[in-house]
Amino acid sequence: MTFDSLGLSRALLRAVADQGYTVPTPIQAEAIPVVLTGGDLLAGAQTGTGKTAGFVLPMLQRLSSNPAAPGRGGRIPLRALILTPTRELAAQVEASVKAYGKHLRLTSCALFGGVGFGPQIAQLRRGVDILVATPGRLLDHHREGRIDFSAVEIFVLDEADRMLDMGFIVDIKRVMASLPKRRQNLLFSATFSDEIKSLADKLLDTPRMIQVTPRNSTVAGVAQRVHPVNRGDKAALLAFLIGHHRWRQVLVFTRTKHGADKLVRSLEKDGIRAVALHGNKSQNARTKALADFKKSAVEVLVATDIAARGIDIDQLPYVVNYDLPNVPEDYVHRIGRTARAGATGEAISLVCVDELGFLRDIERVIKRSIESEVVAGFEPDPDAVAQPVFAQRGRKQAGSGSWTAHREQAGARRQRVPTGTAKHASSRGHVHPAGAARDRDRASPAAQRRDASTGSRSRRQSFGR
């Protein structure tokens, strides 16, 4: 099958060809014809399968084939609304709208927090056909009367699972209540949880359901591996892996913002160029960090889960879980940053004894055991006892136990990586081929204190506004 067979216009086919695509991905092949018919859709696909084009292309076709009359004062009426959970994802989706719609006479705009209102207000006054927004900033503008939803024909919830994780359900319901009752609704999600299906029941009208991969499955092209390590040796092991294997583009996930900043400082002491991406960074700093990573000005991007949503980098070879997520579905999202669009990649998890419970939960969700390899020189203490990962009441704890008990229970295959190195030879004293460390930003004490707060409200304020 090719894009030519999906019923898209010549203008859209030209734009697709300009992007270098000829064959649609499975989610695109199934979703595009459904959206073109005007019906509602509930679609699930792994991150990196091309689901953005799955709704952007047919949306552009439907809007361009039925031009709308100008509104009051010649203002362009808003006809399509796309909600995303994070600023980075909003910018990415709107960039796709522009790229695929470059041969059409449609306008678009992205609304998100962290930047001034002025340019956004000016754009809204002129009007746009397609609006891509995070919920908080969208509602800010709507409360001030700057957005008129009355002409919206298509409503899209992208990364709906993350929307719910971040506590946006109330904002989503407020937006839905303001939209016309007659409209096309599209819900796209990387995972299908029971909460997603409940939201779909309220939002969608007799939808077509598409799920091109099993629920919570991982991308086939990702080679997954666990390196057991003592909790205090993770930074040294990561520096060794990057230097020894000469990794050049590595996305690393940490559990907290403070942890991301701390790891960046440690890597830079080893001569590894790294930058952090999280909610305490300004929007300009986050944009620059992502741009530097994409053009390989830095080798390592250290990010938190929420900030990393929307990162779309072709041929990203390595994803590292410096800290395992306590939500198993987040593991699926994380490793989906590599092996995108049919490519291959590696997902490496540095796991200490404190995280064995998280590892068991992840393996249970993805329905497979992850290969375990001990790196010579970084052998974990087999009798180390797990400590609680979270101190706050109500936070999920990792399971107790030891590596010895874990191996006995799981029967995991343990391998040794023949490196011939002594412990920590790769870290302090090892100079990375890239050269000396650059100047580093230091997280303020206030930022470190804020890092302890992970509630929905604080996350909405950091990312959705």
Q: Quick check: is 217 in a domain?
A: no
**Co-location of 388 and 339 in the same domain:** yes
Is pLDDT at 441 greater than 60 in this prediction? no
Q: Quick check: is 460 in a domain?
A: no
**Co-location of 138 and 271 in the same domain:** no
Q: Quick check: is 270 in a domain?
A: yes
**Co-location of 228 and 164 in the same domain:** no
**Co-location of 173 and 318 in the same domain:** no
CA distance 132 to 82: 5
Q: Please give the order of strands across the beta sheet that includes 130-133.
A: 108-111, 130-133, 80-83, 154-157, 184-189, 41-44, 208-211
- No. of H helices and E strands in the chain? 18, 15
The domain total for the chain is 2
Is pLDDT at 240 greater than 90 in this prediction? yes
How are beta strands 154-157 and 130-133 bridged, if at all? unpaired
pLDDT at position 404:
62
Q: What is the dihedral of CA 431, 436, 439, 440, to 10 degrees?
A: -20
pLDDT band at 193 (very low <50, low <70, confident <90, very high): confident
pLDDT at position 399:
53
Domain C-terminal end among 185, 211, 237: 211
pLDDT at position 427:
42
CA distance 64 to 56: 12
pLDDT band at 429 (very low <50, low <70, confident <90, very high): very low
The structure's pTM equals 0.66
Is pLDDT at 392 greater than 50 in this prediction? no
How does pLDDT run across 40-60, given as a tens digit for each residue?
Answer: 999 987 666 788 999 999 999
Which residue, among 137, 91, 459, has the nearest Cα to 279 in the 3D structure?
459
User: b/e map of 68-106 (b: 16 or more CB within 10 Å)?
Assistant: eeeeeeeeebbbbbbbbbbbbbbbbbbebbbebbebbeb
Q: Inter-axis angle of helices 51-65 and 87-100, to 10 degrees?
A: 50
Cα dist. 143→59, 72, 149, 275 in Å?
27, 19, 12, 36
Q: Quick check: is 459 in a domain?
A: no
pLDDT at position 214:
58
How does pLDDT run across 15-30, given as a tens digit for each residue?
Answer: 999 998 989 988 999 9
**Residue 425 burial (10 A CB sphere; 0-12, 13-18, 19+):** middle
Is pLDDT at 131 greater than 60 in this prediction? yes
**Co-location of 395 and 311 in the same domain:** yes
pLDDT at position 444:
36
pLDDT at position 218:
57
**Co-location of 198 and 144 in the same domain:** yes
Question: Which of the pair, 45 or 402, is modelled with greater confidence?
Answer: 45
Please state the rounded mean pLDDT for residues 423-433. 42
pLDDT at position 262:
96
Is pLDDT at 34 greater than 80 in this prediction? yes
**Co-location of 267 and 302 in the same domain:** yes
CA distance 90 to 84: 6
Cα dist. 441→99, 266, 274, 438 in Å?
34, 12, 11, 10
Q: Quick check: is 330 in a domain?
A: yes
Which residue, among 156, 133, 134, 159, has the nearest Cα to 46 in the 3D structure?
159
Evaluate the CA torsion angle 121, 55, 310, 214 in order and state its sign. Answer: positive
β-partners of residue 301 are: 251, 275
pLDDT at position 313:
72
Backbone φ/ψ region at 216: left (φ over 0), alpha (ψ -120 to 50), beta: left
pLDDT band at 308 (very low <50, low <70, confident <90, very high): low
Domain C-terminal end among 211, 236, 269: 211
Do the beta carbons of residue 80 and residue 152 sit within 8 Å?
yes
Do the beta carbons of residue 138 and residue 175 sit within 8 Å?
yes
Please state the rounded mean pLDDT for residues 96-106. 96
Is pLDDT at 74 greater than 60 in this prediction? yes
Name residues whose C-beta falls within 8 Å of residue 274's C-beta, 6 or more positions apart in sequence.
263, 264, 267, 268, 298, 299, 300, 301, 302
**Co-location of 195 and 298 in the same domain:** no
**Co-location of 60 and 174 in the same domain:** yes
**Mean pLDDT of the residues in the chain:** 82
Please state the rounded mean pLDDT for residues 94-112. 95
Question: Residue 367 is part of which domain span?
Answer: 222-449
Please state the rounded mean pLDDT for residues 91-96. 93
Question: Which of the pair, 113 or 444, is modelled with greater confidence?
Answer: 113
How does pLDDT run across 204-225, given as a tens digit for each residue?
Answer: 999 999 887 655 555 567 899 9
Do the beta carbons of residue 111 and residue 90 sit within 8 Å?
yes
**Co-location of 232 and 364 in the same domain:** yes
pLDDT band at 462 (very low <50, low <70, confident <90, very high): very low
Q: Quick check: is 26 in a domain?
A: yes
pLDDT band at 395 (very low <50, low <70, confident <90, very high): very low
Q: Containing H/E element for 363?
A: helix 356-366
Q: Quick check: is 457 in a domain?
A: no
The three-class DSSP label of residue 247 is: coil
Instruction: Among 163-177, 280-294, 304-318, 360-374, name the one with the lowest average pLDDT.
Output: 304-318
The three-class DSSP label of residue 310 is: coil
**Co-location of 161 and 12 in the same domain:** yes
Is pLDDT at 447 greater than 60 in this prediction? no
Please report, for the domain that includes residue 131, its CATH number: 3.40.50.300
In the block, tokens 């819900």 appear at: 187
Is pLDDT at 419 greater than 80 in this prediction? no
CA distance 126 to 143: 18
**Co-location of 73 and 198 in the same domain:** yes
The three-class DSSP label of residue 62 is: helix
Domain C-terminal end among 211, 244, 260: 211
Q: Quick check: is 38 in a domain?
A: yes
